[in-house]
Amino acid sequence: MPLLGDLALFALTLVLSVLITPGVIRLCRAQGALDKPGERKVHRSGVPRLGGVAIFVAMSLGMTAAVYGVLGDIVDLSPLQGRLIPAIYVGLCGFFFIGFFDDLRSLPAIPRLVAQFATATAVVLLSGGSIRIAGAFGHIVFPVWLAVIITVLWIVGVVNTFNWIDGLDGLAAGIAGISATAFFVIAILKPGLPNAPLTAALCAMLIGAVLGFLPYNFFPAKTFIGDGGAFSLGYLLAVISVVGLFKQAALVGFVLPVVVLALPITDTLLAILRRAIRGQPITQPDSKHIHHRLLALYSRRYRAGLPQETLSRVEERLLAGRAHRNTVLALYAFAAFFAGFAVILGIYA
């Protein structure tokens, strides 16, 4: 029965995302909400940049259905878990609208970060302690104040890792879908985990929303996910890991979320280190992320031996498209490897 409920929630958000995304694309074009080409951009024409609205709306309606029993008794959440969803939803709204306004007005880095910390803190406090990393390694118990700080830092950190990795068509959404699938499999195969039904339900909704959106977001993208979408994905994965995996009283519980999210976390840490060494502000964007470097590598490989001066514009675009798609697929494979490793570790450790 729980698995049937998860499948129903997955189907609901999948259908909603598929239906809503084209409308968002049309609205963006009508209102001129387009991401223009630029020095750090790989696209060559304006692309609707508010596609994350579709994921947010699909998740909002899915979470509403789960809380109010719209799908009947097949969604089996305990009263406590059902009460957690509204607290989680408050954070989803907060992070989505921070990103949404950033997409529209390009908010300065410091006010944006302050708003993120305030939202994450509100979520932890509203949950009454249920959304909190209470300890580590199975035997270390954090004081409440330290648990709150660590949880807030984790949520804000994961949110920004997904914002920073969102540099190629379909990359952030695909990585989020892969990560959510790993969390879902662990929750289903280990039903004794704390909040396993809630973890599985949230993951099922997130996977459905992402899969419904990806056909419009994969290269060549008809819409971008935007900061609103990237912030939403990062927040949901951070909270899912806190509610479920971090609650395990074992070393593996503290390690699993980091392993699942290894790609965006590694990319973010390298970016921070790179900018610190160069004396640049941490928030200053650059074109040295993992996906940028891999894209450049594929581009050079595909052009090797070709007479550059005779390549037509069409041939250039075909080569660029091939490099773009294969870069994203390679990073999907990288993320899937770590996700699979985490699933094996979570089940057998």
pLDDT 10s digits, 238-293: 999 998 876 654 556 668 888 999 999 999 999 999 988 888 888 778 888 999 89
Predicted local confidence at residue 322, as pLDDT? 85
In the DSSP assignment, the letter for residue 140 is E
Predicted local confidence at residue 204, as pLDDT? 96
Distance CA 161, CA 262 (A): 10
Helix, strand, or coil (residue 182): helix
Strand ranges inside 122-233, DSSP E: 135-136, 140-141
pTM score, two decimals? 0.92
Distance CA 66, CA 325 (A): 36
Predicted local confidence at residue 24, as pLDDT? 96
Token pair, residue 294, equals: 């891999």
Distance CA 48, CA 259 (A): 33
Q: Which residues of the chain have pLDDT under 50?
A: 249
Predicted local confidence at residue 161, as pLDDT? 95
